Structure 1
Amino acid sequence: MTALIVCHFVLAACARPLVRALGRRAFVVLALPPAAATAWAVTQWNTVASGGAVTWSWRWMPAYDVTVALRFDALAELMVLLAAGIGTLVLLYCASYFTDGAPGLAGFAGNLLAFAGAMLALVLADDLISLYVFWELTTVFSYLLIGYDSERKHSRRSALQALTVTTLGGLAMLVGFLIIGQAAGTYRISALLADPPRATLAVSVAVVLILCGALSKSAIWPFSLWLPNAMAAPTPVSAYLHAAAMVKAGVYLVARLAPGFADVPVWRPVVIVLGAATMLLGGWRALRLNDLKLVLAYGTVSQLGFLTLLAGAGNRDTALAAAVMILGHALFKAPLFLVTGIVDHAAGTRDLRGLSGVGRALPHVCTVGVLAAASMAALPPLLGFAAKEA
């Protein structure tokens, strides 16, 4: 596990000479670490499906009981397949999306791969402090990716807004982690879930602070405005960060902690009320827009509210439904963002009022888009149907 994470950052550091030598074809080389992580996760399927886990730990700060601990279990399997698998496909897509000599391409390529490494480490972390470190790394790299076109004022402002909201939420989450760790006597996530601390006032405050971090990362109301504005980023960033990876981090944290903390009195009111409100408001807003990318963005906000509600409910059936829905959402929303990028390149616009006949001009792209939309609409026999039925 550690070798796979390190490979992401090492190759990301080599992105500049690779892009200089290979141009946009460097993205094919950069796709190797996430592809290797995907392959490794597939080989561990039987282990985690039977209830086992692969673990690794290193005592980082022994005096403070801080350990870099990694744990690969069933939930981590799902998230690794998303973060690494879709990351591989998005990096390959970048080889066609960008042109040789595009300004800032080397930095973008390195940041995208480094983000994939940070996301991989985040979902494998079994220690609250190391999880926070990787959590903030995804925030920093997402800031750099959203602000890729730094000459545009809108891109700079959107990147800064995303950085501000998610960083403040992350700091609140860190305080919650420290309170929980002190109350339980350990920062190890698996140990916390096996023996949660008693629901005192301090633990309730910690839970609210942790949820602030999770909800801000997943763009749950009232933190939801940053995600639609982040659509200023290139389409591969929207497909990866805002459909499959970064925004799923908050949902992942809720799903990870729900078995141990869903019975804390403040947990369910916060998660269910804000999740349901986000689901309804995001869907209503999506129906009033004409920019195809913004329609998908607000649709993503709505689905994130739905996922948060399911993942945070705290019982086995809704947890299983949430797991299938997390996978289904990534598999239909990421392709729709990528199709939007192709349509934008081909037609020169994303305005639904000005798009006509694109399907006849791009029949293969149309097929992918229709299948993804049908899954989002929960039509059988597609995965979206199975997920929403669950």
Structure 2
Amino acid sequence: MQFIDLKAQYDQIERDVNERIHAVLQHGQYINGPEVRELENRLAEFVGTAHCIGAASGTGALLMAMMALGISAGDEVITSPFSFVATAETIALLGAVPVFVDIEPDTCNIDPGLIEAAITDKTKAIMAVSLFGQCADFDAINAVARRHGLPVIEDAAQSFGATYKGNPSCGLSTIGCTSFFPSKPLGCYGDGGACFTSDEILATRMREIREHGQDRRYHHPRLGINGRLDSIQAAVLLAKLPLFPHEIEKRRTIGRQYTEALAHDRIIPPVVRPHNTSVYAQLTIRVDDRDALQEALKQQDIPTAVYYPVSLHHQPVFLRPDAHLPVSDEVAAHVLSLPMHPYLSDEQIRRVTTAVLEAV
């Protein structure tokens, strides 16, 4: 059993992927080829924003977004401590300070009710993570941001394809950023990412930033990075896009199957708010004795993973000894992610859930 089965997906679209890649090899525009522009147009339409700006990675997308907002040394950005390191890493790379706010116990997303108390005169943005495939509570987050005149960035590396109150992830805030890492709900065959916005000025800035800050050849009005999305990766994503809506529905169906099967007083299954849909980037449960369960599943050749065993405020590079983030600490000690992809069979799901129930 595969934790994420990319080969099963490739078997569905092998001809389209190969034809798309072959077209790039034929025209030879490996950087800024026509596939990049086509993908950006189609993704912007999918999300409902005026602009999509392809990026070399999800990490690069976050960096580009904050650079476009002018975040720099000494600024503060409020974010979640329960996330992949890139969330806070990109803030620190700009010389800014990540300010961690605790998470909701059910969704594991940032708790909007705690954000306002963390705002200071140095706060320049709020970066909300949409974790495990479900969007954070953006109405509440945006309301706080408006009161204080702050932009909001959605770190949607795990939630592309999800919706919040009927609106797509990446179109819920000032800038939405996602990742196309291979294991993501929509993934390429290498690194890739994108930024989304309906703000013309921010879109122009991000396009310049990803091209070393140039607005025309050899003219650089701002600092930038090498942040371009490769044409071949754009070609792969274009081949995958027609399949994506079906895969989203399969993920939701499988997520419901898991949740219903794992109804047990010693298991906390994923919680999806009624106004949300999830793409289940991870199928994450919580149990008291994670190590014992993980070992029991390993003995049955069932792969698992832990996202994330150490919250960011405990990482040496961001260590905050005085931070009081009890929900994040509690969640980090108990989460376990089970196999999740659109091509899991009913029998595989039964095998996993039966093994979990027997072990607990």
Higher relative CO (Cα under 8 Å, sequence separation at least 6) belongs to: 2
TM-score, L = length of structure 2 = 0.30
Q: Which has the higher helix share?
A: 1
